[in-house]
Amino acid sequence: MRREHALAAAAAHFDQGHFFNTLSRRVAQRTESQNPAGGPALHAYLAEDITPELQAMGFACRILDNPVAGGGPFLVAERSEPGASFCVLSYGHADVVRGQDAQWREGLSPWRVTVEGDRWYGRGSADNKGQHSINLAALALVLQARGGRLGYDLKLVLETGEEIGSPGLRAFCALHRAALAADLFIASDGPRVAAPRPTLFLGSRGFFNFRLRVRLRPGGHHSGNWGGLLRNAGTRLAHAIASLVDARGRVLVPGLLPDALPANVRQALSTIEVGGGPADPPIDPDWGEPGLTPTERVYAWNTLEVLAFKTGNPEAPVGAIPGEAFALCQIRFVVGSDSARFVEHLRAHLDQQGFDDVAVEPDGEAMGATRLDPDDPWVHWALDSMRRSTGKAPALLPNFGGSLPNDVFADLLGLPTLWVPHSYPACSQHAPDEHLLGSVAREGLQLMAGLFWDLAEQGPAIAAQRRTAAGVAA
């Protein structure tokens, strides 16, 4: 059987309702990781739904405990072939955010796939059940088309806590580093740049959350009796923030910015447009780093955002000078940033500006920035495969604008990472009325079938080329 037959089988899988049936079964399972009662559903999803499908393809499957207390289990599956010359690792997540049942539009339910035109509504349809279901279905079709032999080994990690920050994923992968060794990482999550345009992204921006806090005195004091005599915590904090980021969103602390914007990253982004969709907010043209395009500002530069700010009693204001104020801020950052020293850079800047009364406290665990070189041979291979399968010029994003736990795979496991998303920006991910586009799902099935097919044909040579290059570099 030839490549075009595999792509035709992928289209038929969608057209004949097989993909709808699979997605309906999976969406019906309430795998809410944010719900403390969701544990049994998450385990059942791995054991009773995904495992049988993988075993039918020849995978050996194990459900393993999370090394972090309270974290959900992991499914690890491996399919080996005698004489295989390289290995691919894939990933997905079984969990979804809370269903928010009461907030869905009339006639819709988060736990039932409802088709209205091109929109397939249901919790997890876009994030991430629909996406890993597309990949697994395409893999099964290619296996069948190739007589049960791929020519490469394949491993899969499916986690159950991505929507709560992937607790234990890094520790788990470190613990099982040898078992997860591979030559290439391919997975699907997040949105395309636009629904009609197939997209490949090579990593993600990192994020670092921190709190700024001013504690001047306990309690408030009458603004008439003490105004003009006592420092106002809210005023101090507002000016401290203004020293970090200006009134047009430009980050003012050099230590919080990347070294530079690489030429091949700028070239890759030159054909990408952001925004403009029917549900997208209008872009503010004069916001952010001057001299960069809107696309470069979101995919290739760092931003500092104020997520929350509180001083006094906003719910019931009184005429008192507040003694305390705090703000929760976030830095989204790209490769080339001195992220390990963000707190140090913030502290030094605030002290230099006279804000020694503003404390800086990290908030939660940071996520690292990753970006595979756009000139890597795996990137050129993937773009060519996607173009052949769809007849479209795919969009190449050196990194996703948001954040994914890609640093675990890129940095800890040392893998070249390729992400092929099957959603789109207006999918209402994490919100009521989440949906997948049927047209994108159908194209995604064909696109992934082409990738899995082409791995068998061109993968051995590329894997060998990269190993040789790595050996020379060492």
Take residue 143 and report the two structure tokens written for it.
């296996």
In a domain, 273, yes or no: no
In a domain, 184, yes or no: yes
Nearest to 300 by CA among 399, 201, 199: 399
Residues 139-187: tens digit of each pLDDT: 999 999 999 999 999 999 999 999 998 999 999 999 999 999 999 999 9
Q: What average pLDDT does this structure show over 305-329? A: 96
| CA–CA distance, 291 with 274 (Å, rounded to integer) | 16
Q: What average pLDDT does this structure show over 307-316? A: 95
Does the pLDDT at position 473 exceed 90?
no
Residues 332 and 448 occupy one common structural domain: no
Residue of higher predicted confidence among 409 and 283 = 409
In a domain, 284, yes or no: no
pLDDT band at residue 469 using 50, 70 and 90 as cut-offs: confident
Instruction: Give me the number of domains the chain comprises.
Output: 2
Residues 220-229: tens digit of each pLDDT: 999 999 999 9
Domain end, chosen from 323, 343, 362, is at 362
Residues 80 and 222 occupy one common structural domain: no
Residues 8 and 94 occupy one common structural domain: yes
Average pLDDT score over the chain? 96
Q: How many CB atoms lie within 10 A of CB 263?
A: 9
Domain end, chosen from 362, 381, 398, is at 362
Residue 288, CA atoms < 13 Å, CB-side half-sphere: 17
User: Which residues lie closer than 8 Å to 272 by C-beta, 6 or more apart?
Assistant: 193, 295, 299, 395, 396, 397
Q: What average pLDDT does this structure show over 29-48? A: 97
The CATH number of residue 136's host domain is: 3.40.630.10
pTM assigned to the model:
0.91
pLDDT band at residue 365 using 50, 70 and 90 as cut-offs: confident
Residues 368-400: tens digit of each pLDDT: 999 999 999 999 999 999 999 999 999 999 998
In a domain, 325, yes or no: yes
Show the domain range for 324.
Answer: 206-258+302-362
Sheet arrangement for strand 395-397: 60-64, 74-79, 153-159, 87-93, 184-187, 417-419, 199-201, 395-397
Whole-number pLDDT of residue 1: 76
Q: What average pLDDT does this structure show over 297-325? A: 96
Q: What average pLDDT does this structure show over 305-326? A: 96
